[in-house]
Amino acid sequence: MTVIRRVLRRPLRSVAFDVFVVGLVLLFGLVAMASQPGWKASLVGVGMAVALLFRRAHPVTVAGVVGALGLVQLIGAWGPLPYDIAVLVALYSVVKYADRLRDGVLAGIGALAGAVPAALQIENGGRWWVSAIVLGLVTGAVWLVGLNVRTRRLYVLSLEERAATLEREREAEARAAVAGERTRIARELHDVVAHGMAVMIVQADGARFMIDRDPEAARQAVKVVADTGRQALEEMRRLVGVLREPSAPEATTGPGPDDAAVGGDPERRRLVLAELPALLDRFRDAGLRVRQTVTGEPATLPPGLELTVYRVAQEALTNALKHAGVGAEVELTLEYGPDDVVVRVVDDGQGRPAANPTPSGGHGLIGMRERVGVYDGSLAAGARLAGGWQLEVRLPLPSSAATTEVIAA
């Protein structure tokens, strides 16, 4: 069953309340028709009631119309009537909903000014000033209530706007992080493909020169060219997949500090798992108690996949140092299976904050998800019941992993 929540693009609750107020003023106007002023005074009441229908969208205009009708009532010397409650409603509305508080101040001054002649038309034995004080107090109380509600309304709106701004900033930062990480992934995959193409050229030249002297060596070189070409084509497919993502990067991220630590230009060299012990040593120097476990038969991974495993381990250890702290115990496990390779990093969360934490090589979980997604892998991360944090990345192995051996020409 569909529940109607808005009428004329306004909340149903607000519309129902406004209709109730208008109906109340109309009822008071009908009461005025039966009293001494007659039908002319009732028309003034009906006009005030109709004007109140627009008090939220056009509070200043409504206050002006109701004030003008009240002036007609004073000129007619009909005295205060029950439907004059519309004046108080209009005053409250202009204080609460007007864009500028100045309009509310002017409306309050006008209402107080009208209270004096209205009090003069009340028959109370010549003590008109008592009636004027009562009307002034009621008007002032309504004005202060409207001011209080206006302040709270503007405060809530400011909180909502601040929350929306923070949400937009978080989304923009996430998009920037993803774009930067995609640029980094694309750059590294480009280096992998370029390395494969260089190997193919060297082996092809070697096969050309050795085809007559040593046919067997030439045959092996051609096999290396074919295997490397297939591998490079697969990496190229992944590279194109990264670059086809809709959020194109606008700026590239700088190389991580770990690249400089292992030596060489990160734009011209490729990190391999053989350098993982050096990475672990750097984190041990930073204060982590890192243990490494390798299960299964280590397989020869494609260069891009090997780089992804290295980067995931690096980012996970960085997060452990940043959040678990110095002195935390971390266990890094590499599991080689027949169909996939699993990287698991578990910390006990028992460290203390690092004074100078190792900067990240990427963008945390966002960067790791991007890298893992390139190879159709899965990433699971979360807190452990025993304390600390656990991250597990599962990367499927190629159906036919080509074991490439470079033969010098």
Residues 117 and 195 in one domain: no
Residues 269 and 298 in one domain: yes
Residues 183 and 277 in one domain: no
The CATH number linked to 313 is: 3.30.565.10
Residues 216 and 326 in one domain: no
Examine residue 365 and state whether it is found in any structural domain, yes or no.
yes
Residues 182 and 282 in one domain: no
Residues 375 and 307 in one domain: yes
Segments forming the whole domain that contains residue 215: 174-243
Maximum Cα–Cα distance across the chain: 133
Name residue 293's beta-bridge partners.
Answer: 333
- Indicate yes or no: pTM above 0.85: no
Residues 234 and 265 in one domain: no
Name residue 7's beta-bridge partners.
Answer: 10
Examine residue 313 and state whether it is found in any structural domain, yes or no.
yes
Examine residue 75 and state whether it is found in any structural domain, yes or no.
yes
Examine residue 140 and state whether it is found in any structural domain, yes or no.
no
Residues 234 and 284 in one domain: no
Examine residue 58 and state whether it is found in any structural domain, yes or no.
yes
pLDDT of residue 71: 86
3-state DSSP helix/strand/coil percent for the chain, to nearest 5?
65, 10, 25
Residues 38 and 10 in one domain: yes
pLDDT of residue 249: 37
Residues 231 and 286 in one domain: no
Residues 296 and 217 in one domain: no
Q: What is the pLDDT of residues 274-318, one digit of tens each?
A: 888 888 988 887 788 999 999 988 878 887 788 888 888 888 888
Examine residue 272 and state whether it is found in any structural domain, yes or no.
yes
Q: What is the pLDDT of residues 178-202, one digit of tens each?
A: 777 677 766 666 666 666 666 666 6
pLDDT of residue 259: 40
| Count of domains forming the chain | 3
pLDDT of residue 322: 83
Examine residue 234 and state whether it is found in any structural domain, yes or no.
yes
Amino acid at 77: A
Element at 15 (helix H, strand E) = helix 12-34
Examine residue 155 and state whether it is found in any structural domain, yes or no.
no
pLDDT of residue 407: 36
pLDDT of residue 237: 66
For the chain, 409 residues long, give each residue's pLDDT as a single digit of tens: 444 566 556 666 777 777 777 787 777 766 666 665 667 777 888 888 888 888 888 899 989 988 888 888 888 777 777 778 888 888 989 998 888 888 888 988 888 888 888 888 776 666 777 878 888 898 889 999 989 999 998 888 888 888 888 888 888 777 777 777 677 766 666 666 666 666 666 667 777 777 777 777 777 777 777 776 766 666 666 666 655 555 433 333 333 434 433 334 444 445 678 888 888 988 887 788 999 999 988 878 887 788 888 888 888 888 888 888 888 899 999 999 888 999 999 998 887 765 554 444 445 777 788 778 888 889 998 888 888 889 999 999 876 444 433 333 3
The CATH number linked to 182 is: 1.20.5
Per DSSP, the residues of 58-116 read: -HHHHHHHHHHHHHHHHHTT----GGGHHHHHHHHHHHHH-SSHHHHHHHHHHHHHHHH
Return the residue matching tokens 């002017």: 106
> Buried (b) or exposed (e) across 106-142, using 16+ Cβ within 10 A?
bbbebbbebbeebbeeeeeeeebeebbeebeeebeeb
Q: Give, as one character, the DSSP assignment of residue 256.
A: P
Residues 116 and 79 in one domain: yes
pLDDT of residue 4: 54
